[in-house]
Structure 1
């Protein structure tokens, strides 16, 4: 049975025409669609693939409750993109030096800054970033969920602001159809978001066990509005989402500094930057009711709203404008979506394959990023073709440099 046929039976609506979907993902979607807290149907995006707890590429409306594992442990993970004043012919023949400049300013993987970033030292939009950082710090001191988390390295929270992380997080230089140079990066709320998410998932599981709630997947346990645990989580969730957005802004600041150093002038301002989450939850109105909308690997695509849909290390990415499709809860995909798991990708491909698939891109081409090879992802053009009633393409981007942790 195709997913299109399956969705007529289950409480699902999909935008997956022409896209391969494995049955594990289908069954996971069915488990979500049968939850008693669901406030409508589950919307399935074309980049859908198996996730922990909830399926990546799903939009889940819930009434008076929220599923922490559906949001996930990289709370507020998302994208930021900015068009610069540079043209393709402004770039040097080799981008290796520029890549090194950026890597010197933005810690990747498990690394962090030795001290909190102070944007005032370098100008650009420093004052606004400093004020945003101060507000985050003050709110962090009052987070009630930290009482449940217990012992924690609080200094790490501020030192990880402005850092990339690993996995599928990246910083890229891209060219659009007019040969304008863009900066695009992907990251989230780092270790603190993970810690808040894991704590909330644990609380939800414990409550489900105490109530003897029957769940096909214990990760689908939820927190009910009005409970202490719900309030703790929502406060932490909103803070972590803001932390993630600020983290991306600080990295963009650092990349623009590296570009200024490389070209001897400022090449962009923050005006016009697109900064969007794709792992998050928010209260929204749909079909006449206020619901919690959890986008697990999905981007808000309200009518006229700009968003970012990245491909992979060797494929195109897109700046899009939402069409406000209500059946999709005004959402679109958050990327191409994985076709192979990380382990399967490492078994299926070689370093020679990685070299070939990332030809022309200044990037790592070693074992450490083999699981991020473009072939491990779905074809981005097929994914885009499946969601033409969700978004329209504003710019098509092709990366020329990619930094991964």
Structure 2
């Protein structure tokens, strides 16, 4: 808080008023207001504040929709357009495509592996070699019927699974298990879809396609990470998740890749084009969609969101099959798959979450730490003031451009990162992120979540 008076003055010059009490910043200007949950020990960034208020002020110029509430979780920091950690609720007939951006349904899946630490350590060299080849060196075969993608986009994941060919990755897949695991995917059943909004390349006339982005992690902060359960806070919740101390889990963090870019870019451009001619454009350059176009955006976004599910599901299946000689495939199962960048219709609102995740009462959520830090499996408490949300991680505190200049790769004797790009060890260093402890504690104290299980990183794979 030492820089807070200076920040207050700087924001005041922009017409932004900010106050702080009990770990909550309340901000407002002449156009909008928002709340930010952030402990005093973590910095409040001026650019992020400005971005949040800009989004909170977006409205249909003809009065057909607007933002109803805006807030942010403790991983709050500036994004390229929308601030990360933002939660923005609009009326049901209004959406803001830029609030989600291109990385639609970026999210994290956590799975039990059926292994404990002793078993995993005994096969560590083999696990590294197999997963490195399959995930980082493109040693994977993920064939999909064109008709399967059409079924995914039109009808949903259950129909897609029925279309899987008896080829490549899917030869050994337990289709019944994959169907059962759909229930562990938060929000998946509510996503709409329409194949008209999917890339034509995935639905070509040839029967089998192998998209280059299938089972792909992508760059940035995406990862596949094996963790050890090193602390159980709630025995009953851990039992529900099928976890005990010493168990190995795997977290898969990725999104919709090129399909998300295809959908997101098109609809952000369309929102701008729909601005009434002759009316001055908003200075922040952010645009919403109302009525019919809002409904159509939800279908297009659902197409990308469903593809992100497919991406994480396929990566999980690769892990299962690469571990099959040391852990029976039926010993693994999905605990939860949570989205970060989506719009979900909840009650009377369209809730836009950018780098934040649903945390409804009794629902599992994940709060991963930085690379090398602890992660937490938590239960949501459904706090209405924070739109039943929680953070999706610790949050960056140093930009990638700045951390690259430091050129100090990570060194850790217990945890190990496997990557083909050494710059990832610099860009994603723990020092680039906020400590996860205060981020978690702030949300527990405010009643957003309750921590159930703490996870310690064991092996991290980054593309």
TM-score normalised over the length of structure 1: 0.85
Paired position in structure 2 for 1:268: 331
Distance 1:61 1:213, change over 3 A: farther
Q: Deviations over 1:194-250 (max 9, x none)?
A: 1100010111111226363532321x21111223xx344221111211221121111
Match of 2:216 in 1: 163
Question: Are residue 298 (structure 1) and residue 356 (structure 2) matched?
Answer: yes
Distance across 2 between alignment mates of 1:190 and 1:277: 14
The two structures, once aligned, show a CA RMSD in angstroms of 2.9
Asked if residue 180 in structure 1 is aligned to residue 247 in structure 2, the reply is yes
Shift of 1:332: 0.1
Q: Is 2:406 aligned against 1:342? A: no
Structure-1 residue corresponding to 2:317? 253
User: Take 2:295 and 2:197, find their aligned partners in 1: how far apart are those partners?
Assistant: 9
Q: Secondary structure at the match of 2:121?
A: coil
Aligned to 2:75: 47
5+ residue gaps, structure 1: 133-138
- The aligned counterpart of 1:136 is none
Q: Offset of 1:32 from its aligned partner?
A: 1.6
Q: What stretches of structure 1 move > 6 A for 4+ residues in a row?
A: 129-132
Alpha-carbon spacing, 1:145–1:231, altered in 2? closer, same or farther (3 Å)? farther
User: 1:129/1:267 Cα in 2 relative to 1: closer, same or farther (>3 Å)?
Assistant: closer
Q: Where in structure 2 are there 5+ consecutive unaligned residues?
A: 1-7, 9-17, 60-64, 145-166, 183-191, 232-244
Tell me which residue corresponds to 2:440: 384
1:87 equivalent among 116, 123, 132 = 116
Q: Secondary structure at the match of 2:403?
A: helix
- Conserved? CA contact 1:322–1:390, under 8 Å: yes
Rounded Cα–Cα distance in structure 2 between residues aligned with 1:108 and 1:236: 31
Cα deviations across residues 134-193 of structure 1 (Å, max 9, x unaligned)? xxxxx98x53335xx8x8676777452322222211101000121111111101111011
Find the counterpart in structure 1 of residue 5 from structure 2: none
Pick aligned residue for 2:88 from 57, 60, 66:
60
The aligned counterpart of 1:4 is 20
Q: TM-score normalised to the size of structure 2?
A: 0.75
Question: Which residues of 2 match residues 234-249 of structure 1 at below 5 A?
Answer: 234-249=298-313
User: Which whole-Å CA distance do the structure 2 matches of 1:250 and 1:55 have between them?
Assistant: 30
Question: Which entry has the higher C-alpha Rg, 1 or 2?
Answer: 2
Partners of 2:180 and 2:249 lie apart in 1 by 24
Q: Distance in 1 between matches of 2:216 and 2:350?
A: 29
Inter-partner Cα distance in structure 1 for 2:283 and 2:201:
32
- SS for the counterpart of 1:250 is helix
- Aligned partner of 2:265 in structure 1 is 198
CA distance in structure 1 between the aligned counterparts of 2:275 and 2:210, rounded to whole angstroms: 30
Give the aligned length.
Answer: 383
